[in-house]
């Protein structure tokens, strides 16, 4: 077909027709559009698998309030609870509920709602996966705007769980009126945004709640599109179809951060290698050699474009028990020496399997490939097995992981119990290290009432773990976020992308 | 009679196929690694917690027992509850099915149109550079998988020349008056062409990505059939009667040449629906395929079972429809 004036005009007309069909524009950001990396399967933030999925907590926190507010640096702040604490002998807890807060249907949020939410979470039939934490409190009751409960079993982290997984205040009267299905269809919370429209697997449209008790969000309307493919997310923000997106390959982030606003801040997720106390991993020389042979900083610089923070314990610098004096040096000569002491050498390497995911976390497989390459240089021959994350969970729960297994661990409250504790305490279903010495060291810390002593205790545990190489911490992840010029995003160290923390400018 | 016999036979085999698919999917997804309970275990969960959660979701029973309970439910229309969405599986899959069907049908229409036009053009221009260009294009279309076409379309029409939407099914800010989830069809019925245009603008790229390889297959097969038919005596006769080449191809040769293509389109349509799994993911399209991937990632066993069973139903249904259509169109079968 010849390109004539007529065909050119016809083409232009067709283009104009499509242009008016509703493609978003960045000219005036009245409605903020976020391309989010995961779907939201369910609206109740306290039950089912979604409740313990860290990647969707940001969506929940836009609509629901947690008992205690968590600031972007992971520190707690007054939220629905303005004050909280234990009585002197720590047999009771008390919580003061903020007055003047309303649910999205206009009804008042009361101490009764808080007490009911806590009791519901503690009920084993509710489907709350964290039920075992909430059930350490019992006999919930209210006095005015104070909620009190008896401590059935002292847990020093109970208030930290109030800004962690499933720690949400739910509307008692509304929930009882509409039931679980009704709530799923029309959820209400007391958070900064109300649910305006929700299409499963597609998007959620939020409207700012005019009577929100906290700082009013800057954007009146926010559409969160669920764009699970990283390439599509980059295309969304690059084309202007979305204003904000997150979790793209670091190379793409570097390519676009000049054209768009970019922020890349460390979050509470870490990459680590579980060592299972089976086979050759029972030999401390092998474990220590494996730890000393890894050049973490070079891996971060070369593979992750510098986006990562080297760590030597399961604590990141933002965590409560972080101790910068605990280090594990990159020392290949020492690794060779340690292996030689156990009869291994380059000619007679120690052999074991290492399991890893591929594409579940940024460069996970490539990082393990690099580590295996570094190990080979000192006399460790590791065979890589790629598995799905679901298989990892199953193997870990059954304590049948390979001698080494790569994983990422999230701990957005920064407490040592929810990092070192659950990852390394033998009886925990998440730990594959069953050494009695470590169990004996950790056990008393679960119920330690003196906070200073507790943190020091965990630091000692971390030191033992590092010295004996019972796990190999690798890096703290950095979360890349891209936003359109004209939108500023405040990153949250938990990794939650919160529209209420986004501003114009 | 032949048609009725064919229908009865196919209905019987369809039922057997569905039962087989149900059995296979039920047992296979329980054997492959990945336990949904292990995935939702919180840090610090005890053996009691694990037992409680396992019982809560019904995984404490033996696999045959679980199958009997599930199969009994399916027969009474209860496909169970999704573990992640905490909604009835049937509601979820039926809610998403229209989106996938509309996308697949749109892709099919595009594929038939492109494939048909290029086959007719190639036949009319046989032996010329135009036919060679069509053959080269078909080869390229077939050698690139649909998801790669999707990526190319996203980059060209989503980023370089942002003309079309690259995610979703409809613009979220639009108010939808629809009573069903067949948005595209209902927008036409309600004469809401603004919504129709928005839907098409969202669906065009994923549909095109799905359609391109199928269009090439249709084009090649139809062109080949037409070429063979063009040498038959009755076609030569129609030429001698003075009919033009276009008339000879479309009116005389095409009705006979189209039968093998029709069979192929039916078979390929089922593959096309299967292809929506990746394409829907890439374009964040809210269909069954996108939901299927999430269900697999989350090991949402009841939802996986529901989706696979529905896919099996669609596949067997489409094959049955094609067979019947073939029987109706084929005079040898019709008059047997």
Can you list the positions of beta strands (E) in A390-470? 404-410
- How many A×B Cβ pairs under 8 Å? 198
Q: Which residues have CB under 8 Å from A9's CB, separation 6+?
A: none
- In angstroms, rounded to a whole number, what is the distance separating the alpha carbons of residues B30 and B59? 10
Residue pair B81/B245 in contact by the 8 Å Cβ criterion: no
Residue pair B205/B153 in contact by the 8 Å Cβ criterion: yes
- List chain B residues with CB under 8 Å of A130: 42
| Mean pLDDT of the residues in chain A | 92
Residue pair A297/A343 in contact by the 8 Å Cβ criterion: no
pLDDT in tens, B43-100: 666 777 777 778 877 888 888 888 888 888 888 989 988 988 888 999 999 999 999 9
> Does A153 contact B at CB distance below 8 Å?
no
- Residue contact A200–B84, C-beta within 8 A: no
Q: Is residue B150 classed as helix, strand or coil in its secondary structure?
A: helix
**Cα-to-chain-centroid distance, residue A34:** 19
| Angstroms from A170 CA to nearest CA on chain B | 17
The secondary element (H helix, E strand) that includes residue A271 is strand A261-275
> Does A11 contact B at CB distance below 8 Å?
no
Counts for chain B of helices (H) and strands (E), in that order: 15, 0
pLDDT in tens, A90-147: 999 999 999 999 999 999 999 999 999 999 999 988 888 888 899 999 999 999 999 9
Q: Determine how many CB atoms are found less than 10 A away from the CB of residue B313.
A: 15
- Residue contact A129–B96, C-beta within 8 A: no
Show which of residues 328-347 on chain A sit within 8 Å of chain B, judged by CB atoms. Answer: none
Give the closest of B43, B56, B172 to A430, CB-based.
B43
> Does A41 contact B at CB distance below 8 Å?
yes
Give the closest of A131, A201, A393 to B35, CB-based.
A393
**Contacts from A194-197 at CB under 8 Å and sequence distance 24+?**
A194/A63, A194/A104, A195/A43, A195/A63, A195/A104, A196/A221, A197/B172
pTM for the predicted model, two decimal places: 0.85
Q: How confident is the model at residue B335 (pLDDT cuts 50, 70, 90)?
A: low
Q: How confident is the model at residue B21 (pLDDT cuts 50, 70, 90)?
A: confident
Comparing alpha-carbon positions, the chain A residue that sits nearest to B160 is: A239
Q: Which among A204, A234, A239, A314 is the top mutation candidate for probing chain B, defined by the most B β-carbons within 10 Å of its own β-carbon? A: A239
DSSP state letter for A282: G
pLDDT per position in chain A (505 positions), as tens? 444 544 444 444 444 444 444 444 445 678 999 999 999 989 999 998 889 888 899 999 999 999 999 999 999 999 999 999 999 999 999 999 999 999 999 999 999 999 999 999 999 888 888 888 999 999 999 999 999 999 999 999 999 999 999 999 999 999 999 999 999 999 999 999 999 999 888 899 999 999 999 999 999 999 999 998 888 899 999 988 999 999 999 999 999 999 999 999 999 999 999 999 998 999 999 999 999 999 999 999 999 999 999 999 999 999 999 999 999 999 999 999 999 999 999 999 999 999 999 988 889 999 999 999 999 999 999 999 998 887 888 888 888 999 999 999 989 999 999 999 999 999 888 889 999 999 999 999 998 999 999 999 999 999 999 999 999 999 999 999 999 999 999 999 999 999 999 999 8
Nearest-10 Cα torsion for B93, B94, B96, B99: 140
Query: Phi then psi for B29, rounded to 5 degrees?
Result: -70, -15
pLDDT in tens, B285-325: 999 999 999 898 888 899 999 999 888 888 888 888 877 77
Q: Which among B284, B288, B299 is the top mutation candidate for probing chain A, defined by the most A β-carbons within 10 Å of its own β-carbon? A: B284
């Amino acid at each position: 077909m010849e390109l004539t004036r007529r065909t050119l005009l016809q083409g232009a007309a067709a283009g104009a027709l499509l242009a008016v069909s509703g493609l978003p524009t960045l000219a005036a950001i009245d409605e903020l559009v976020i391309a989010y990396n995961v779907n939201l399967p369910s609206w109740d933030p306290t039950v089912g698998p979604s409740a313990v999925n860290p990647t969707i907590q940001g969506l929940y926190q836009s609509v629901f309030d947690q008992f205690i507010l968590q600031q972007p640096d992971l520190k707690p702040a007054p939220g629905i609870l303005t004050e909280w604490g234990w009585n002197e002998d720590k047999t009771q807890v008390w919580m003061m509920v903020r007055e003047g807060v309303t649910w999205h249907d206009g009804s008042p949020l009361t101490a009764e709602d808080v007490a009911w939410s806590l009791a519901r979470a503690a009920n084993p039939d509710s489907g709350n996966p964290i039920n075992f934490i909430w059930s350490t409190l019992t006999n919930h009751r209210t006095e005015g705007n104070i909620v009190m409960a008896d401590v059935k079993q002292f847990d020093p982290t109970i208030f930290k769980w109030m800004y962690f997984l499933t720690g949400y205040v739910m509307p008692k009267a509304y929930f009882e009126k509409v039931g679980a299905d009704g709530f799923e269809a029309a959820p209400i919370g007391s958070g900064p945004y109300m649910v305006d429209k929700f299409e499963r697997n597609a998007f959620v449209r939020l409207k700012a709640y005019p009577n929100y008790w906290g700082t009013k969000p800057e954007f009146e309307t926010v559409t969160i599109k669920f764009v699970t493919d990283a390439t599509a997310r980059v295309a969304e923000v690059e084309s202007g179809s979305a204003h904000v997106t997150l979790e793209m390959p670091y190379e793409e982030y570097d390519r676009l951060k000049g054209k768009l606003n970019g922020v890349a801040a460390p979050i509470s997720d870490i990459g680590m290698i579980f060592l299972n106390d089976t086979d050759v991993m029972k030999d401390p020389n092998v474990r220590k050699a494996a730890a000393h042979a890894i050049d973490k900083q070079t891996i971060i610089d070369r593979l992750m474009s510098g986006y990562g923070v080297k760590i030597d314990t399961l604590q990141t610098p933002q965590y409560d028990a972080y101790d910068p004096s605990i280090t594990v040096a990159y020392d290949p000569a020492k690794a060779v020496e340690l292996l030689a002491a156990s009869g291994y050498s380059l000619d007679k390497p120690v052999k074991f399997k290492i399991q890893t995911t591929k594409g579940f976390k940024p460069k996970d497989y490539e990082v393990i490939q690099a580590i295996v390459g570094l190990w080979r240089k000192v006399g460790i021959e590791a065979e890589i097995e790629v598995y799905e994350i679901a298989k990892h969970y199953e193997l870990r729960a059954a304590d049948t992981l390979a001698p080494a297994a790569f994983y990422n661990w999230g701990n957005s409250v920064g407490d040592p119990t929810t990092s070192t504790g659950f990852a390394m305490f033998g009886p925990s279903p998440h730990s594959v290290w069953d050494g009695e010495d470590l169990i004996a060291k950790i056990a008393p810390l679960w119920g330690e009432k003196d906070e200073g002593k507790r943190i020091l205790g965990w630091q000692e545990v971390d030191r033992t773990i590092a010295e004996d190489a019972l796990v190999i911490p690798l890096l703290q992840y950095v979360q890349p976020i891209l936003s359109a010029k004209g939108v500023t995003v405040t990153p949250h160290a938990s990794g939650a992308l919160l529209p209420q923390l986004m501003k114009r400018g | 009679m032949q048609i009725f016999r064919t229908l009865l036979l196919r209905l019987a085999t369809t039922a057997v196929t569905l039962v087989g698919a149900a059995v296979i999917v039920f047992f296979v997804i329980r054997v492959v690694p990945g336990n949904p309970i292990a995935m939702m275990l919180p840090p610090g969960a005890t053996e009691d917690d694990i037992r409680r959660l396992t019982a809560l979701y019904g995984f404490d029973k033996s696999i045959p027992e679980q199958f009997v309970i599930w199969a009994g439910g399916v027969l009474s229309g209860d496909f169970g509850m999704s573990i992640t969405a905490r909604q009835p599986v049937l509601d979820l899959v039926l809610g998403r099915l229209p989106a996938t069907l509309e996308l697949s049908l749109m892709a099919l229409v595009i594929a038939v149109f492109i494939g048909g036009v290029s086959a007719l053009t190639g036949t009319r221009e046989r032996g010329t550079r135009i036919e060679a260009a069509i053959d080269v294009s078909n080869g390229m279309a077939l050698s690139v998988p649909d998801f790669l076409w999707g990526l190319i379309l996203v980059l060209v029409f989503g980023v370089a020349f942002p003309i079309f939407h690259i995610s979703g099914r409809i613009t979220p800010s639009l108010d939808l008056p629809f009573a069903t989830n067949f948005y595209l069809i209902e927008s036409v019925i309600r004469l809401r062409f603004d919504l129709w245009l928005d839907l098409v603008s969202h669906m065009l790229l994923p549909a095109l990505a799905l359609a391109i390889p199928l269009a090439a297959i249709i084009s090649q097969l139809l062109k080949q059939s037409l070429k063979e038919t063009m040498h038959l005596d009755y076609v030569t006769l129609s030429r001698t009667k003075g009919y033009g080449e276009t008339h000879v191809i479309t009116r005389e040769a095409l009705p006979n040449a189209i039968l093998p293509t029709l069979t192929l389109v039916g078979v390929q349509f089922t593959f096309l629906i299967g292809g929506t799994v990746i394409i829907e993911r890439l374009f964040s399209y809210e269909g069954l395929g996108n939901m299927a991937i999430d269900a697999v990632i989350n090991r949402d066993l009841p939802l996986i079972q529901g989706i696979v069973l529905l896919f099996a139903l669609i596949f067997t249904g489409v094959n049955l429809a094609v067979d019947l259509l073939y029987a109706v169109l084929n005079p040898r079968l019709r008059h047997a």
